[in-house]
Structure 1
Amino acid sequence: MLARKHLTPRLEARLRACTTRNGWTLKAALRSGAEQPDSRIGIYAGDSESYATFAPLFDPIIQELAEGASRGHRSDFSLEGLPLEDLDPTGEYVLSTRIRVGRNLARYAFPPAIHAEDRRRLEAEVVDALAGLPEGLSGVYRPLGALSEDEREELKARHCLFSAEDRFLESAGALRDWPEGRGIFTSASQRLLVWVNEEDALRVISMQPGGDLARAFLRLRGALAYLDARLDFAWDPARGYHTSCPTNLGTAMRASVHVRLPCLSSRPGFEARCKALGLAVRGLHGEHSAPEDSVYDLSNEHRLGVSERDIYARLHSGVRRLIELEQTLRGTRRQRRRARGG
């Protein structure tokens, strides 16, 4: 656990009495890690001020997460000069594409620390902004508590419903007063989602069947440009966009594809090969889950010290390279089968 690794007795004594304007303390920040000892990070921010107030602890954790990458965030959603073609136009390898970002609002505490009244105010402010999304992105907002059973089942089937079943978030305090002040915005196309008051105030998600990464990216870019002009997001030049969990600082972006690679994934060193391409490997249902039918979730490994453009470029080139290797292995396997048959 990174929080335990970097929290020396002297540092704990120094920070113990510190508190942010929203009442976030060192004890509150570390509660999830204390209650969930298998946590990788073990610390949450309760507001933007947390990253400055508890900087002596957060900063070395952030630096380790970035694996020595240069600090500082430069947002860049441009795709000029990058490949825009579908990663898998035949649909043989890539099942789906999903890009999401987290955002918090500067003048509110984050979900682990926010009070119920402020959570309702934040929800109303976000819903008002979402109501003006332009054609092609517009849709409806549904409070979690008002969802019918049919709506819940439909959202679950599409892996679009967030729930109160995350023990790390529960220990952090992010699930208090569930489901009050929380909801899901869904565009008419069903390809843009916004979760309100989950781990962060907003989680903006662009989804696409198959491997058209560019289309998913551009849809997300349009939605964020609109929301950024109407909502004051929490950020600073060194850490990028502020998130409850420090793993998401910087771009706060996770761009991923579900891709089937049976030949390549069965060979030794698959995960190391992905890591060398800058990709993180998860199972079909996210972190700590297993693959199903050789389908893996591949995403960008870093969020801080890179731009959104960098994430797109690395994911596109990395997945394309893995598909090429899978095709080579399949071709070799077919040749061997034909040779044995002959």
Structure 2
Amino acid sequence: MPYPEFPSDCRSLLCKYLTPELYDTLKERRSRYGFTLDDLIRSGVANPDSSIGVYVGDEESYDLFAPLLDPIIREYHGVDPEAGHRSDMDPSHLDVADPDPEGRFILSTRLRVGRNLHCFPLGPAIARRERLIVECMAVDALKKLEGDLAGTYYPLSGMDEETKRRLIEDHFLFKEGDRFLEAAGLNREWPEGRGIFHNEEKTFLVWVNEEDQFRIISMQKGGDIRAVFERLSRAVGSLQRQLTFAYSGRLGYITSCPTNLGTAMRASVHIRLPKLGRDREAFETITGRFHLQIRGIHGEHSESEGGIYDISNRRRLGVTEVEAVKEMAEGVKALIEEEKRRGA
């Protein structure tokens, strides 16, 4: 396709950094899986209201299209991608207390990481056969989890209505992706090759072949962040002993969306802040200081209900997992203190 014409009000990082000259430089490049510049920018072109606008199809494309991707990564994460990345998921290094020991504000804590298999294309470029192979490898690895991590895998294809109802009630069932993922090609052959795993206690969950091949999730009610992190660390460690995940010393764990590079971690709480929520400027001042994102109760692109918000870390590249979780915990503590100051 020719250089795309973006509307004048487009504010995505794709719009900001893709010039006609850069498009001409990159347009003939093709990865070993056949991924092109047009594939990379397809979602952002179809959805000019995107905040980022690119989805990557394989590990190689991060180098192949670096002249476009590196500035996007640099602006989003606030670090130079050439600085390198360091991982640390050792729970003994995480010194945090429950920010809400009385249980007045934090409804639940949820930590998740994204992972993709080395030497497989990512979701935007993966073929049907490869996706099914990924699912088989995931199921085999998940079956070997033991103790409190042991559980059951539920494929989305052919799922019976009772299982579907229960997973919806538990807020576990992920749906076909939104228009941004649709345009990126992440919804192909839906729901084939996708599924959900969870343990008996419903504190550990894995999504298979959603936006990334693995979304590994630890969660529980309340604000015991360290306990949630410890469970996640054990789970990731067990899966890494069986599977080889895509990792770069420059960019950390490789994901289809550049915002999830590095730790590929989203550390979040559902928290009730009705008074602070009415003062958006003060709310955003605190979250900005601790590099946190504010989302509605149903996640990205949703609104708050009953003064409940989803608060999570924004920085993922250039910080370790321990550092990201600690920063989130400190920010949540500051939010609670401000809510109390306002009479909560």
Give the structure-1-normalised TM-score. Answer: 0.93
**Is 1:41 paired with 2:68?**
no
CA distance in 2: counterparts of 1:110 and 1:270, whole angstroms: 36
Determine the structure 1 residue equivalent to 2:198: 186
Determine the structure 2 residue equivalent to 1:303: 316
1:213-259 C-alpha deviation (Å, 9 max, x unpaired): 11111111000001111111111111000000001000000000011
CA distance in 2: counterparts of 1:310 and 1:69, whole angstroms: 18
* AA in 1 matched with 2:188: R
Work out which of the residue numbers 306, 313, 325 in structure 2 matches 1:312: 325
* AA in 1 matched with 2:45: A
1:157-188 C-alpha deviation (Å, 9 max, x unpaired): 22211111411111100110111111111112
CA distance in 2: counterparts of 1:69 and 1:284, whole angstroms: 32
CA distance in 2: counterparts of 1:60 and 1:52, whole angstroms: 12
Work out which of the residue numbers 79, 104, 117 in structure 1 matches 2:129: 117
Determine the structure 2 residue equivalent to 1:204: 216
Determine the structure 2 residue equivalent to 1:4: 15
Could you tell which deviates more after superposition, 13-22 or 267-276? Answer: 267-276
* AA in 2 matched with 1:169: L
Determine the structure 1 residue equivalent to 2:178: 166
SS of alignment partner, residue 148 of structure 2: coil
The structural deviation recorded for 1:287 is 1.8
Determine the structure 1 residue equivalent to 2:304: 291
CA distance in 1: counterparts of 2:287 and 2:77, whole angstroms: 17
Determine the structure 2 residue equivalent to 1:240: 252
CA distance in 2: counterparts of 1:170 and 1:309, whole angstroms: 33
Mapped contact 2:286–2:334 kept (Cα < 8 A): no
What is the 5 A alignment of 1:273-284? 273-284=286-297
1:4-49 C-alpha deviation (Å, 9 max, x unpaired): 2111112111111111111101111111111111111111110111
Determine the structure 1 residue equivalent to 2:37: 26
Mapped contact 2:79–2:318 kept (Cα < 8 A): no
CA distance in 2: counterparts of 1:188 and 1:33, whole angstroms: 40
**Is 1:151 paired with 2:163?**
yes
The structural deviation recorded for 1:327 is 1.8
Could you tell which deviates more after superposition, 47-56 or 143-152? Answer: 143-152
CA distance in 1: counterparts of 2:311 and 2:146, whole angstroms: 31
Work out which of the residue numbers 154, 178, 188 in structure 2 matches 1:142: 154
The structural deviation recorded for 1:81 is 5.8
* AA in 1 matched with 2:43: S
Determine the structure 1 residue equivalent to 2:283: 270
* AA in 2 matched with 1:258: H
What is the 5 A alignment of 1:210-229? 210-229=222-241
Aligned length in residues: 331
Mapped contact 2:276–2:282 kept (Cα < 8 A): no
CA distance in 2: counterparts of 1:266 and 1:4, whole angstroms: 32
* AA in 2 matched with 1:312: V
CA distance in 2: counterparts of 1:223 and 1:189, whole angstroms: 14
Mapped contact 2:198–2:204 kept (Cα < 8 A): yes
The structural deviation recorded for 1:148 is 1.5
1:31-75 C-alpha deviation (Å, 9 max, x unpaired): 111111111111111011110111111111100111246732100
Give the structure-2-normalised TM-score. Answer: 0.93
CA distance in 1: counterparts of 2:256 and 2:273, whole angstroms: 33
Determine the structure 2 residue equivalent to 1:325: 338
SS of alignment partner, residue 149 of structure 2: coil
* AA in 2 matched with 1:129: A
Structure 1, unmatched stretches of 5+, are 332-342
SS of alignment partner, residue 95 of structure 1: strand
CA distance in 1: counterparts of 2:265 and 2:94, whole angstroms: 18
SS of alignment partner, residue 52 of structure 2: coil
The structural deviation recorded for 1:79 is 3.8
Could you tell which deviates more after superposition, 222-231 or 2-11? Answer: 2-11
Identity %: 49
Q: Which has the larger radius of gyration?
A: 1
SS of alignment partner, residue 342 of structure 2: helix
Note the aligned Cα RMSD (angstroms): 1.4
Structure 2, unmatched stretches of 5+, are 1-11
**Is 1:94 paired with 2:106?**
yes
SS of alignment partner, residue 136 of structure 1: helix
SS of alignment partner, residue 112 of structure 2: strand
* AA in 2 matched with 1:219: R
